[in-house]
Structure 1
């Protein structure tokens, strides 16, 4: 396991290959053609549709559902991809219950929304499986743009710029493009190598050169990029992780949840991936949920998520929380870690109950301990390094408008940029909008 040694409580092969394959199968199997038409028929095709307003990429949802209902799913896919080129991944991982489906009038009237996410997947998967690309690149403009970070924001920005005729070089520090989609999402949400298949399909637009193993500040500087390109887009994500700040955090098997998820996503054989008997996850967002659920799916006997605030305040959606508890994960709200115990490796974690106070969250004197042979931390991420001399807003890159930074001809979007939600779909929208602003700027230059 990354950055630590195996201990008696942590072992690989807790489940056999058959059980692992079943556990990590597609969590939401796709709709068939008949099922999709039945689901599409439930849409009211609202003129002033609240689902469109709720979608960060502003997909014309009633239009694409009508296109499915009229048996033209390829047209539906083009409608989706025109706004969200990563519509395939977003159909799988978007918190639709909080976005489009949560705003659906069927949800308000009946408590059962139109299955927008599943319908989006039906349309996008069908077109991608056909192998072609729905758009044709414009004539080359002679302009060169550097896009740093091949995650959702960078991929979205690069595709839109290439579509408009610009020459794009896409730099990424890792061996594979995809960013969060490849390294950070739960394996059961995007199984079967979908993330890489989506990247390969996206690159069919042409005009995008991918440079892997290139990190900003290591292989080159921001000034180098500015000197060699007409514009630069930064979609570098948040490579650093926040620490608990407790003694014992250096013990073996105290790990960032992001490291565990990344290792799992890149494992060729899940039976070789070690997991503890008693796993504790600190945090309340999607990373915490994904780490906890996947620990259980690997064969951990007891998995507990502990969050410092109430369960209603957890950043992860209620749907994801319910999925975790249905998978056998226990959630303990209103508690914060105060001590980590062990000799060489973690053995126990002490928590104190919390309560709201006049100056914020207060730690009470009431404590409890949880046995843990693995402790995953998921308490937020931060910039791994500041691309000097950019201005910051808190611990993120300060931006105005469609991602303009404090430097001329430098844009930023996705998790590394201030403002917006830390969602895949939001990153896609920010990358796309930055590309349009870059295009307008280059045309006027």
Structure 2
């Protein structure tokens, strides 16, 4: 975990051994068959289906719920997966309260929506438990496509291209496929190595080769020109690899690290009791990553955990549900405050914050400051694109795309967090990868 393990006070094993399994158990246990029937029975099967309109992947939600009602959950799974091949993970991590369930008529009328996410999980888990794959490859086209990044966008693109009969090679910079799903979300949202199981299930379609520990542009690996020489098209779905800096003196002190690094290490840890955590932990930021880091630090045994966000809670990117989850786990949320100084001799000891206010030219720092003790600080203030091929146009810090993911470079598409329009959601990345694959297929077949 970067240099934080050398910080006094950042130690492993703060809790009794048995506490870790309980703390990191499934945050939303699955429905059983009877519970699924009861939940499905609440659906009105609306003709205009506002829930479907709110889903970035346009899953036919009324249809799959009706299929669960009729006792055919595998048919429901096929309905889901035909639009969202990572429907199992999305059922676990989607902010449904802002999407399908937030648009549910039951939510509007009663304040209690149909449990769409839980029903989606019931259907997809039922199919995956039988190790069955509902799709098969089309006739071979003789075309090959390179997909850079084995995250949600890349995997979705690769699977749809394989369905069309193309040969696909996925190039992944890390040691395991999965991207955000494998390395970037709280472990209690996807227990029992679900992300890797879903990848293995997805690859059952065939025609997809995964090359791991390969990074675009890295010496010895290859660049965009080489990929275009070896393949008929390229899809870029490598996510965001850089982390925004606080731009404060002392940011390199021991105990300060990106929240994404902390989450990734926790997700890959074989023994959570061996993972160091501080006594006083501060997470700077207000998105899902900030919440995931803060809650997991608390579950590892940190005594005091604070999320500090520069704007009001109502403006936090993390959903209200996620914020309430953090509060329920003992995390303090401090709003309208921004870091202005880091204190400590070699290792962080305190972070100084200034309260903020809305000014004529935007957010302003006030002269009203306070300090929080800290032996561990996680930065969750956004990520950056990292290195990008010169042939690809960049706009607003992301790869510029037009239509279904076409970049400025011929034969190159992009989608997910690395592309303009990506909004850091697994479900959106899946939709963009799927739609790009359809456009790539049309391009390759001359349609």
Same fold (TM over 0.5): yes
Task: Return the alpha-carbon distance in structure 1 between the equivalents of residues 332 and 445 of structure 2.
Answer: 55
Is 1:72 the equivalent of 2:79? no
Q: Is the 8 A contact 2:291 2:322 kept in 1?
A: yes
The 3-state SS of whatever aligns with 2:405 is: coil
Q: Is the 8 A contact 2:169 2:210 kept in 1?
A: yes
- Tell me the equivalent position of 2:115: 115
Task: Return the alpha-carbon distance in structure 2 between the equivalents of residues 271 and 369 of structure 1.
Answer: 30
Alignment of 1:224-263 (within 5 A): 224-263=226-265
- Deviation at residue 8 of structure 1 after TM alignment: 2.2
Task: Return the alpha-carbon distance in structure 2 between the equivalents of residues 88 and 223 of structure 1.
Answer: 35
- Tell me the equivalent position of 1:338: 340
Is 1:34 the equivalent of 2:29? no
- Deviation at residue 432 of structure 1 after TM alignment: 0.2
- Deviation at residue 420 of structure 1 after TM alignment: 3.6
- Tell me the equivalent position of 2:90: 90
Alignment of 1:147-162 (within 5 A): 147-162=147-162
Equivalent in 370, 379, 382 of residue 380 of structure 1: 382
Alignment of 1:265-414 (within 5 A): 265-414=267-416
Task: Return the alpha-carbon distance in structure 1 between the equivalents of residues 369 and 278 of structure 2.
Answer: 23
Cα deviations across residues 36-65 of structure 1 (Å, max 9, x unaligned)? 000000000011100000000000000000
The 3-state SS of whatever aligns with 1:120 is: helix
- Deviation at residue 6 of structure 1 after TM alignment: 2.0
Is 1:196 the equivalent of 2:190? no
Task: Return the alpha-carbon distance in structure 2 between the equivalents of residues 244 and 360 of structure 1.
Answer: 18
Is 1:443 the equivalent of 2:413? no
Task: Return the alpha-carbon distance in structure 2 between the equivalents of residues 297 and 433 of structure 1.
Answer: 38
Q: Is the 8 A contact 2:415 2:422 kept in 1?
A: no
- Tell me the equivalent position of 1:12: 12
Give unpaired runs (5+ residues) of structure 1: none
Q: Is the 8 A contact 1:222 1:388 kept in 2?
A: no
How many residues in Structure 1 have an aligned counterpart in Structure 2?
Answer: 445
Task: Return the alpha-carbon distance in structure 1 between the equivalents of residues 178 and 5 of structure 2.
Answer: 29
TM-score computed with the length of structure 1 as normaliser: 0.99
The 3-state SS of whatever aligns with 1:134 is: coil
The 3-state SS of whatever aligns with 2:6 is: coil
Cα deviations across residues 122-153 of structure 1 (Å, max 9, x unaligned)? 00000001001001110110000000000000
Structure 1 outlier segments of 4+, above 3 Å = none
Task: Return the alpha-carbon distance in structure 1 between the equivalents of residues 7 and 256 of structure 2.
Answer: 12
Task: Return the alpha-carbon distance in structure 1 between the equivalents of residues 276 and 231 of structure 2.
Answer: 45
Q: Is the 8 A contact 2:139 2:165 kept in 1?
A: yes
- Deviation at residue 421 of structure 1 after TM alignment: 1.8
Give unpaired runs (5+ residues) of structure 2: none
- Deviation at residue 4 of structure 1 after TM alignment: 4.0
